[in-house]
């Protein structure tokens, strides 16, 4: 009988990050990750398709939050207001208590081209979803694509700033600064 184990994905994720960071991503197997927290390889594969996916756990929640913020705006909101709302909503996933985890995760990703690839696709998928949402609201092209891509650009730059060594500002504050920089730049 398969028992429901609350928090198992999170435990596996924390263990994986620890091993990836100390031993290296390539040198760590799914079995070793599972064993380090007293679980079996089989349990690992019940939660994740492969060891790469363990780093992207929670991604659907982030994407859902981003799009939920966008959807919560009035139907006639300007495209950039929709984007701002999406960013504000996504910021909820990056509280200060999460910063050490995000930093460690990024170090692992930066060291591995296959993981960078996956991360890149994540952002492309996010921009496409936001673009589709804007199109459904009647925003014409190229405005829908431009607004969506501006949104993921501001997020990417803000996130990279947020996890930089020594950075203490909240992601909300950083996003506001980056957005203002973009506006100043384009004017």
Toward a copy of itself, which CB reaches closer, 31 or 177? 177
Q: Angle 170-171-176 (CA atoms, 0-180°, nearest 5)?
A: 105
The nearest distance, CB 9 to a copy of itself, in angstroms, is: 27
Nearer to a copy of itself, 21 or 146 (CB): 146
Query: Is residue 85 a contact partner of residue 69, using CB atoms and an 8 Å limit?
Result: yes
Contact 54, 48 (CB under 8 A): yes
CA distance 62 to 171: 14
Name the minimum Å distance from CB 5 to a copy of itself. Answer: 35
Q: Please, which residue, 15 or 139, has the CB nearer to a copy of itself?
A: 139
Nearer to a copy of itself, 12 or 174 (CB): 174
How far is Cα 145 from Cα 152, in angstroms, rounded to an integer?
Answer: 11
Q: How far is the CB of 29 from a copy of itself (least distance, A)?
A: 26
Cα–Cα separations (whole angstroms), residue 120 to 37, 47, 101, 113, 114: 30, 23, 19, 10, 10
Q: Tell me how far, at minimum, the Cβ of 44 lies from a copy of itself, in Å.
A: 27
Could you identify the residue written with the tokens 């659907």?
Answer: 60
User: Residues interacting with a copy of itself, by CB under 8 A?
Assistant: 79-80, 117, 120, 124, 142-143, 145-147, 149-150, 153, 157, 161, 177-178, 181-183, 185-187
**DSSP state, 2?**
P
Write down the least CB distance from residue 142 to a copy of itself, Å.
5
Report the greatest alpha carbon distance in the chain: 62
Q: Which is nearer to a copy of itself, 26 or 181 (CB)?
A: 181
């Amino acid at each position: 009988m398969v028992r429901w184990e609350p928090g198992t994905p999170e435990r596996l994720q924390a263990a994986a990050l620890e091993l990836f960071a100390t031993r290296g991503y390539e040198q760590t197997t799914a079995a070793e990750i599972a064993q380090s927290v007293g679980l079996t390889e089989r349990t690992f594969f019940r939660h994740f398709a492969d060891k790469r996916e363990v780093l992207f756990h929670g991604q659907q929640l982030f994407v859902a939050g981003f799009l939920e913020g966008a959807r919560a705006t009035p139907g006639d909101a300007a495209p950039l207001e929709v984007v701002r709302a999406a960013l504000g909503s996504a910021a909820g996933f990056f509280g200060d208590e999460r910063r050490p985890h995000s930093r460690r995760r990024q170090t692992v990703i930066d060291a591995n081209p296959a993981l960078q690839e996956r991360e890149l696709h994540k952002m492309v998928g996010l921009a496409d979803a936001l673009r589709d949402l804007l199109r459904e609201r009647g925003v014409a092209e190229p405005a829908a694509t431009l607004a969506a891509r501006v949104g993921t650009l501001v997020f990417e730059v803000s996130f990279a700033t947020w996890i930089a060594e020594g950075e203490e500002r909240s992601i909300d504050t950083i996003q506001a600064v980056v957005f203002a920089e973009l506006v100043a730049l384009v004017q």
